[in-house]
């Protein structure tokens, strides 16, 4: 079986091939004696595996496995495309909107759900952050590269998913149908005199929607505002930056940095659409533009972030063709917090951490027993409490 072969081979070769690939792709200088030493060791491991593994393995399989292991070692968002798959890959567009609103990466061999976009078919079908998609239309995803998984999710027919929800052992069969759910509107509310705006997704026009919502907040006379970016995990970082600027009058919003990229910085202008108190709600399903927004508010001391540490996916990627005929989708840049720390390293940590452990255990027990209890929004509850509102306001909003 290929699985055992890859584990044995990659555990020995990934570290070596990482150095070689980094030099080939980015022109990174390495001492000549080090390169020869790595090449010699890699050659020994390569020959050992090819000649002694229990089943016959082709050189092409070993090399493809080694290069895939390199990108896996770098981060979960980068991947290698072998020459044999390039014809299929050329028709692939790596965008987060797959028509069902499911934002996925790959973990432990399966598709891992970062977020199901609020209001999307995926969310309506019950998919949520932390789920594992094990099969699509009956096909196991264990050996399927992430770009092919994203292609399968775009199929223009009802998609049958085998899903393992976080903390459970029973698999669910879920059917999701593509639907047009863009543009995604903001949700607004007033909770005991506190303005509430939920931004489900940053896309072109979101910042303009946010500005209009803030105008209404200002006209209502509310001086306290909660902005909810939980589940906001993809889309336009530019609109996230513009939305953050609506609440700032000075300071660095974010910067884009990378070894081979020209650094870029976004400064807040003097204009603001709301000058009252602000809290931002975030959790592990907050990523990309949602993280940039939360980091900008927190890092400029404009307001508190309440909830759970965000995912850590504020990146820029580029596809780099290789002389072999294959290519690498590589992370080449990252967005930063206002103090120029990469968001991808630790995510955005909340000022006020909300412990959701007890609630998660209770929900698992409810599913086992079939018992149904009212689900509380503990993060929103905490935010309202910090603003001095009664807990009943959160239950009204739920």
Q: What is the DSSP string of 179-236?
A: ----SPPPEEEEETTEEEEE---B-TTHHHHHHHHHHHHHHHT--EEEEE-TT--SB-
* Sheet hosting strand 224-228, strand order edge to edge: 187-191, 194-198, 224-228, 277-282, 304-307, 352-353
Whether residue 81 lies inside any domain: the answer is no
Range of the domain at 27: 2-74
Whether residue 321 lies inside any domain: the answer is no
Q: What is the DSSP string of 154-187?
A: T-SSPEEEEEE-TT--SEEEEEE------SPPPE
For the record, the structure tokens of 226 come out as 């909660």
Same domain (yes/no): 124, 162? yes
Same domain (yes/no): 338, 369? yes
**pLDDT tens-place string over residues 139-186:** 999 889 899 999 999 988 999 999 999 778 889 999 999 998 999 999
The CATH code of the domain that includes 300 is: 3.90.226.10
Whether residue 69 lies inside any domain: the answer is yes
What per-residue confidence (pLDDT) applies to 55? 80
Q: Give which of 349, 345, 238, 259 is closest to 299, Cα–Cα.
A: 349
**pLDDT tens-place string over residues 84-136:** 999 999 888 777 777 899 999 998 889 999 999 999 999 999 999 999 999 99
In the three-class reduction of DSSP (H, G, I as helix; E, B as strand; rest coil), residue 85 is classed as: helix
For the record, the structure tokens of 260 come out as 């081979």
Total domains, the chain? 3
Same domain (yes/no): 139, 63? no
Same domain (yes/no): 274, 199? yes
Of 142, 157, 176, the residue that ends a domain is: 176
For the record, the structure tokens of 132 come out as 């594992």
Whether residue 97 lies inside any domain: the answer is no
Whether residue 225 lies inside any domain: the answer is yes
Orientation of helix 32-52 relative to helix 59-74, angle to 10°: 130
φ, ψ of residue 158 in degrees (nearest 5) = -55, 125
Whether residue 12 lies inside any domain: the answer is yes
Of 141, 156, 176, the residue that ends a domain is: 176
Residues in CB range of 203: below 8 A, 6 or more apart: 182, 183, 184, 235, 236, 239
Whether residue 83 lies inside any domain: the answer is no
The model's confidence at residue 11, banded by pLDDT at 50, 70 and 90, is very low
State how far the Cα of 159 lies from the Cα of 101, in Å rounded to an integer: 13
């Amino acid at each position: 079986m290929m699985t055992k072969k890859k584990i044995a081979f990659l555990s020995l070769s990934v570290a070596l091939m990482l150095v070689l690939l980094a030099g080939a792709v980015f022109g990174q200088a390495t001492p000549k004696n080090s390169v020869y030493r790595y090449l010699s060791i890699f050659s020994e491991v390569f020959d050992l595996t090819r000649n002694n593994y229990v089943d016959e393995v082709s050189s092409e399989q070993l090399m493809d496995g080694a290069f895939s292991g390199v990108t896996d070692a770098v981060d979960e968002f980068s991947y290698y495309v072998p020459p044999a798959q390039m014809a299929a890959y050329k028709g692939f567009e790596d965008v987060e909107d797959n028509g069902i609103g499911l934002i996925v990466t790959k973990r432990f061999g399966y598709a891992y759900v970062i977020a199901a976009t609020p209001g999307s078919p995926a969310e309506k079908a019950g998919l949520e952050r932390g789920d594992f998609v094990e099969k699509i239309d009956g096909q196991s995803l264990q050996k399927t590269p992430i770009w092919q998984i994203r292609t399968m999710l775009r199929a223009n027919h009802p998609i049958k998913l085998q899903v393992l929800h976080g903390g459970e052992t029973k698999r669910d069969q879920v059917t999701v149908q593509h639907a047009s759910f863009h543009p995604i509107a903001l949700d607004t509310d007033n909770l005991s005199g506190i303005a509430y705006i939920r931004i489900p997704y940053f896309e072109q026009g979101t910042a303009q929607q946010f500005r209009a919502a803030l105008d209404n907040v200002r006209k209502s006379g509310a001086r306290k505002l909660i902005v909810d970016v939980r589940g906001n995990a993809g889309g336009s970082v530019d609109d996230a930056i513009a939305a953050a600027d609506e609440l700032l009058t000075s300071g660095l919003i974010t910067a884009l940095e990378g070894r081979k990229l020209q650094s870029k910085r976004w400064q807040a202008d003097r204009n603001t659409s709301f000058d009252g108190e602000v809290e931002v709600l975030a959790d592990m399903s907050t990523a990309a533009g949602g993280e940039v927004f939360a980091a900008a508010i927190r890092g400029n001391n404009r307001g508190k972030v309440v909830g759970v540490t965000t995912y850590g996916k504020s990146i820029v990627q580029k596809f780099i063709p290789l002389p072999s005929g294959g290519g690498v989708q590589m992370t080449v840049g990252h967005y930063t917090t206002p103090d120029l720390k990469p968001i991808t390293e630790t995510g955005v940590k909340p000022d006020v951490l909300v412990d959701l452990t007890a609630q998660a255990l209770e929900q698992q027990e409810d599913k086992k027993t079939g018992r149904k209890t009212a689900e509380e929004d503990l993060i929103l509850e905490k935010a309202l409490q910090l603003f001095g509102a009664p807990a009943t306001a959160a239950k009204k909003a739920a």
